[in-house]
Amino acid sequence: MITIYIFTASGVAILLLVTTKRLQQKLKKPFFVFNIISKADAQIRALYQKLVHLYSDSKEKTSFLIEKQIPIHSKNVLNKSISFIKEKRDQYIGNIRNSRLLKRPDGISEFFKNMSEIEKGNGQIHDSYEDSSQEDKKELK
């Protein structure tokens, strides 16, 4: 229903424009409607040119930002994050290779040496661990 009204309104508008144009040519006098159409056309063209320039400038800026700036800044942030993590790791963990604990004779390195000797069967275990379940069996006999 609405399309019928729009169609008839546009038909009437075209008919009025054609008749006023013929009257303007016969009387050689400008009508108000055509002055409005001419001014609106000039303003719309100027607005269109502004929008085209705005679109092209924003497209160039956006492509520059995406292709150049974002990769540079992301690499910068990544490098800063890696160096920060390394600093914090060294602060809390320290350099394990040159640790005092590994250089002590009873430190971790000595422990691993003793473990390797025990696994080969060359070492001795000085700690005696008694199995409580075996003692209970001896007492029962």
The answer to whether the Cα torsion of 131, 133, 136, 138 is positive or negative is negative
Whether residues 19 and 85 share a domain: the answer is no
CB burial of 22-57 (b: ≥16 within 10 Å; e: otherwise) equals eeeeeeeeeeeeeeeeeeeeeeeeeeeeeeeeeeee
Q: What's the one-letter identity of residue 122?
A: N
Whether residues 115 and 57 share a domain: the answer is yes
Whether residues 80 and 66 share a domain: the answer is yes
Structural domain including 25 reads 1-30
Distance CA 4, CA 10 (A): 10
- Is it the case that residue 27 has pLDDT exceeding 70? yes
- Is it the case that residue 18 has pLDDT exceeding 80? yes
Pick the more confident residue, 92 or 63. Answer: 63
Whether residues 69 and 13 share a domain: the answer is no
The percentage of the chain sitting over the pLDDT mark of 90, rounded to a whole number, equals 41
State the total domains in the chain. Answer: 2
Q: Using one digit for the tens of pLDDT, what is the confidence trace for 39-90?
A: 999 999 999 999 999 999 999 999 999 999 999 999 999 999 999 999 888 8
Q: Which residue has the tokens 């607005």?
A: 47
Other beta carbons within 10 Å of 90 = 10
Residue 15 lies in a domain: yes
pLDDT of residue 70: 93
pLDDT class of 111 with cuts at 50, 70, 90: low
- Is it the case that residue 99 has pLDDT exceeding 80? no
The pTM is what? 0.42
Residue 101 lies in a domain: yes
Whether residues 37 and 91 share a domain: the answer is yes
Whether residues 60 and 44 share a domain: the answer is yes
